[in-house]
Structure 1
Amino acid sequence: MKSSNALFYFFLFLYLVGFLLTWFNSETSIDCYIGDSGESLIGEDTVNSEPYSASITEESTTPGTFSRTYSWDYEGCNWQLTLPLDNELYEKYKSRTRNRDYDLFASDPYDDWLIKDIAEALLSLSKAHGLEKSQIPGLCISFVQSLNYTSDLESSGYEQYPRFPYETLYENGGDCEDTSILSVAILQEMGYDAVLLELPEHMALGVKCNNGYRGRSFEYEGSNYYYLETTGSDWQIGEVPEEYADQPVYVVPVYRRPMIKLDFKAQCAYSKKEGVVDINVTVRNVGSERAENATVYVALQAEDKLSFWDEIESSSITIEPEEVFNYTAKGLTVPAGNKFRVYVQVSGEDLVPENITSAWAMI
């Protein structure tokens, strides 16, 4: 009887896996066309006598999922793009920590499928319409600029709340850092060399262009990146809004890399002779690349900050993006009557070392 039940559940599991894979693949396609609503006009040059305003329409598919059609203007034509969106996936993104650098939102690996589909759709549209290569970034930005602008405080209740590209598309907009993050992700997938440009109280995009372009550019590692505004509309490459014309600009490269966030809890048992400390360490990779050959080092640091009463190091580990690794260091000792603090560091291949310490204590 038990073997029959086990066989039944095994086949049920295989059926569900097959169903989910079929459903997922059916929902990740993107439809795109140029022209008036309702007509598929890929490859035809449709020039509008009057400009279209940006708009969106939504259509339910299966429970918890829907498709959204974005419509916007560029180079005298109306362009449309339809994306599949999922409520459950959106909630998963909302649950992820915002405590990471801006570029790691743009390089996040878990929405690669969507960014790739958007890039391919926009490239297909640009080819069908006969756009020059120099016009393609403008098409991409015109799509992003058509999204609604909403401040972080208004939309999330926080002063600063950067979003992953999937969230910006799901919410149909965001503020300057959200649209810049989305834009740089799409342009890089298209093969363009793009960076984030961070200004006081603002963020924009930098696109590597030939020296023939006019407007404001910024040099980074021997290349010129021209300013491109991602909020508002009709901004040209190199054109800077007047309120930001004299602001300092910091170039933020976007590439995949691991980034570690640390936390720990310590418990100490005392005696007349010594203190015995157990430390539970939580290691989270909030980066966009796996942390290879990482090690966790835990020590009881002496008051001179150069020596340690006791120490231990973990074996080598690999931590995937968004993965959490828990490590427990048990039985570290410090002689009675001496000050100490807990010192934790994670280091590894292609990983900027991260460390944290506790307050000073005395046995």
Structure 2
Amino acid sequence: MKKIVFLTVILFIMLSGCIDDFKILSEEFNSLKKSETLNVTINSETFETGDELTIAGILIGKSPEVNVKISKYGGSEDIISKNISISNSVFEFKIDTESLEAGEYSVKITTESGIYKILNFKVLNNENYLINSGYESQNENYYFKNYSWSYDNKKWHLEISIPKSAYEYYKNKPHNREDNYAQYALSDYDKSYLDSMIYNFEKASIENEYSKCDEALFISSFVQSLDYTTDSETTGFDEYPRYPLETLVDMGGDCEDKSVLTAALLNELDYDVVLIELSDHMAVGISCNEDIYGSYYEYNGKQYYYIETTDENWFIGEIPEKYLEDNAIIRPLIQIPRMIMNFSAERTAYSGNYVYYEVTCNLENLGPGTAKNPKINIAAVAVEEGENYIWKPDVSLDLENYEEGDSAVITTSLKIPRNILTKIRCTVYGDNFKSFEVSSEEFNT
């Protein structure tokens, strides 16, 4: 029995010693924590490439600095290691995440006493590529263009291909619609090329949950990023309004060109837009159902908010100060086709009292849009009686609709009295374009 008691006592003493030692260590650990505490935060857990990462903290203790290490998540190699001084218990460290490739990272902050904290964050690649379907970089019959710009703290890249034949088509069209620049934005022939761009803008807007006004600003930011160039520098003309495909291939233009391109793109997405023509400037107006603040123009009972296109970082409703009091002409985006014509007349026969002429008219619709229900009247004017008198019979013809770019040759005959002073006059008119006439010089039959 004594042996048993003895063993029990020894065991009790040993256990008591262990407990005492544990208490001492615990007290030292607690006292250390009380004298040195570390609180750290980062301004976000997710960053787009190029965003600023801010690491800030408060250290209560005697350490004059902390060490900040950044490494790939799960990796052992430090990408960044820097000592940061502490001022009034506060420290802050900022880096540009442009120096970090996309991926997950760990931040470890250590004090001299060994207290540390680990935070994690991600860097996302904010390079967004919009590539048109059918894009081929090795085809000599196409222009291949690459654009880069920034919007919504992201970098965007757009790659497009435009047939050289389409560019030449617009290059060879008349550039004299200064009376209504809206017509440059409304061509039917370039819609297929613009629509492929629009598809990519619309898809990216949906993926990024942009509102309709955000989407409009997204598209405007692309055009704003194009170079501003004057017509005299790039074409040698004082005024040379570009069609949208010309501006895209030339990768820039002046205020009219960039406004026309912006209006064309937004119009294809069914935005209610107009061109705003100022004394020496042009911009775009947009009517949005969302709450927008800023400068606008009233037209047909709607408010059209100003969009500047010549330079980057202009928001909807922001207008350059010099144009705040300027009078504006609003140009709605309504297609008004322009028909052109030339004709020739050749004497084919004559009788005792009459001369017969074959008249050949070359008619073309320059656009934009389809010329609806065109008609033509061909007559010989009784000059000595006055401009309003013609020799009967004249010829009137109803023609088929002319789509943009369509042309046709119309041939007919006129019977004109002999030995009189006359001229041949051709008049074209229709439902949705301005009527016009072309006349020959006066001549004796």
TM-score, normalised by the number of residues in structure 2:
0.63
Pick one of 75, 80, 89 that aligns with 2:157.
Answer: 80
Q: Per-residue deviation at 1:341?
A: 3.2
> Alpha-carbon deviation of 1:275?
5.5
Corresponding residue to 1:316 among 399, 414, 419 = 399
Which position in structure 2 is the counterpart of 1:289?
369
- Asked whether the 8 Å contact 2:102–2:123 carries over to 1, the reply is no
Given that 2:287 and 2:303 are in contact with CA atoms closer than 8 Å, whether structure 1 keeps it comes out as yes
User: 1:249-328 counterparts in 2 under 5 A?
Assistant: 249-267=328-346, 276-303=356-383, 304-310=386-392, 311-328=394-411
1:184 aligns with 2:263: yes
Shift of 1:360: 4.3
How many Å separate the matches in 2 of 1:348 and 1:72?
A: 45
Identical amino acids, percent of aligned pairs: 31
Which string of whole-angstrom CA distances, capped at 9 and with x for unpartnered residues, describes residues 262-320 of structure 1?
A: 22234568999666544332211011322233221111223422221242123432322
User: Gaps spanning 5+ residues in structure 2: where?
Assistant: 1-47, 51-97, 104-121, 127-134
Paired amino acid for 1:321: E
Residue 59 to residue 293, structure 1, CA distance change in 2 (3 Å):
closer
Higher relative contact order (CA 8 A, sep 6+): 1
Is the Cα contact below 8 Å between 1:183 and 1:230 reproduced in 2?
Answer: yes
CA distance in 2 between partners of 1:224 and 1:138 (Å): 17
Query: Among residues 51, 61, 65, which one is paired with 2:142 in the alignment?
Result: 65
1:11-41, CA deviations, whole angstroms, 9 ceiling, x for partnerless residues? Answer: xxxxxxxxxxxxxxxxxxxxxxx9789x999
In 2, the alpha carbon distance for the partners of 1:82 and 1:35 equals: 21
Secondary structure in structure 1 of the residue aligned to 2:298: strand
Does structure 1 retain, via aligned residues, the 8 Å contact 2:185–2:263? yes
Determine the C-alpha separation between the residues in 2 that align with 1:305 and 1:115. Answer: 47
CA apart distance, 1:88: 3.6
- Alignment length (residue pairs): 317
Asked if the contact 2:224–2:258 (Cα under 8 Å) also holds between the matched residues in 1, the reply is: yes
Kept in 2: contact 1:59–1:66 (CA 8 A):
no
Give structure 1 stretches of 5+ with no counterpart. Answer: 1-33, 49-57
The Cα RMSD (Å) is 3.2
2:243 pairs with 1:160: no
Give the letter for the 2:332 counterpart.
P
Go from structure 1 to structure 2 and tell me whether the alpha carbon gap of 1:201 and 1:362 turns closer, same or farther (over 3 Å shift).
farther
C-alpha distance after superposition, 1:112-151 (max 9, x if no partner): 1221121121122222223232211111111001111111
- 1:237-252 matches, within 5 Å, as 237-252=316-331
Offset at residue 362 of structure 1 (A) = 4.8
Cα gap change, 1:326 to 1:45, in 2 (>3 Å): farther
The normalised TM-score by structure 1 is: 0.76
User: Per the alignment, in what secondary structure is the counterpart of residue 61 of structure 1?
Assistant: coil
**Conserved 8 A contact 1:208-1:226:** yes
SS of the residue aligned with 1:118? helix
1:101-120 → structure 2 map (5 Å cutoff): 101-120=180-199
Q: Which residue of 1 aligns with 2:60?
A: none
- The CA deviation at 1:188 is 1.4
Q: 1:8: which partner in 2?
A: none
Q: CA 1:346 to 1:182, structure 2 compared with 1: closer, same or farther past 3 Å?
A: same
